[in-house]
Amino acid sequence: MPQTYETLLLEKRDRVALITINRPDKRNALNIKTREEGAALLDELRNDASVGVVVFTGAGDKAFIAGADIGEFAGRTSITQRDVMMSRSLFTAIDGFPKPVIAMVNGYCLGGGCELALACDIRIASETASFGQPEINLGIIPGGGGTQRLTRLVGEGKAMELILTGEIIDAQTAFGIGLVNHVVPADQLEARTMEIAKRISEKSPIALQLAKEAVKLASRSNLDEGLRREVDLFALCFSTEDKDEGVSAFLEKRKPAFKGR
Q: CB under 6 A: which stretch of 39-47, 110-118, 184-192, 235-243 binds ligand COA? A: 110-118
Q: Does 33 bind ligand COA (CB under 6 A)?
A: no
Beta strands in the chain (DSSP E): 8-13, 16-21, 53-58, 63-65, 101-105, 108-110, 122-126, 130-132, 169-170, 182-184
Nearer to ligand COA, 134 or 205 (CB): 134
Q: Which of 8, 19, 20, 27 binds ligand COA (CB under 6 A)?
A: 27
- 230 included as an active-site residue: no
85 interacts with ligand COA by CB under 6 A: no
If one asks whether residue 26 binds ligand COA (CB under 6 A), the answer comes out as yes
115 CB contacts (<8 Å, ≥6 apart)? Answer: 91, 133, 142, 144, 145, 146, 149, 150
Q: Give me the catalytic one of 11, 44, 135, 225.
A: 135
Least spacing, CB of residue 107 vs ligand COA, in Å: 8
User: Is residue 5 part of the contact set for ligand COA (CB under 6 A)?
Assistant: no
Task: Return the number of the residue (69 or 121) whose C-beta is nearest ligand COA.
Answer: 69
- 135 labelled catalytic: yes
CB 49, CB 98: distance < 8 Å: no
Provide the 3-class DSSP secondary structure of residue 63.
strand
Min. distance of Cβ 16 from ligand COA in angstroms? 27
- Of the candidate spans 4-12, 25-33, 89-97, 170-178, the one that interacts with ligand COA by CB under 6 A turns out to be 25-33
- Number of residues counted as binding ligand COA (CB under 6 A): 17
β-pair type (16-21, 101-105): unpaired
90 touching ligand COA, by CB under 6 A? no
> Which amino acid is present at 100?
P
DSSP assignment of 10-56, as one string? Answer: EEEETTEEEEEE--GGGTT-B-HHHHHHHHHHHHHHHT-TT--EEEE
Does residue 146 bind ligand COA (CB under 6 A)?
Answer: no
Please name which of 60, 120, 131, 126 lies closest in space to residue 91, comparing C-alpha atoms: 120
205 contacts ligand COA (rule: CB under 6 A): no
CB 80 to ligand COA: min, Å: 16
User: What's the rounded Cα separation, in Å, for the pair 236 and 208?
Assistant: 12
Nearer to ligand COA, 108 or 175 (CB): 108
Q: Is 147 exposed, middle or buried (0-12, 13-18, 19+ CB in 10 A)?
A: middle
Site for ligand COA in 54-73 (CB under 6 A): 62, 66-71
List residues binding ligand COA (CB under 6 A): 26-27, 29, 62, 66-71, 108, 110-112, 134-135, 138
Q: Which residues are catalytic?
A: 115, 135
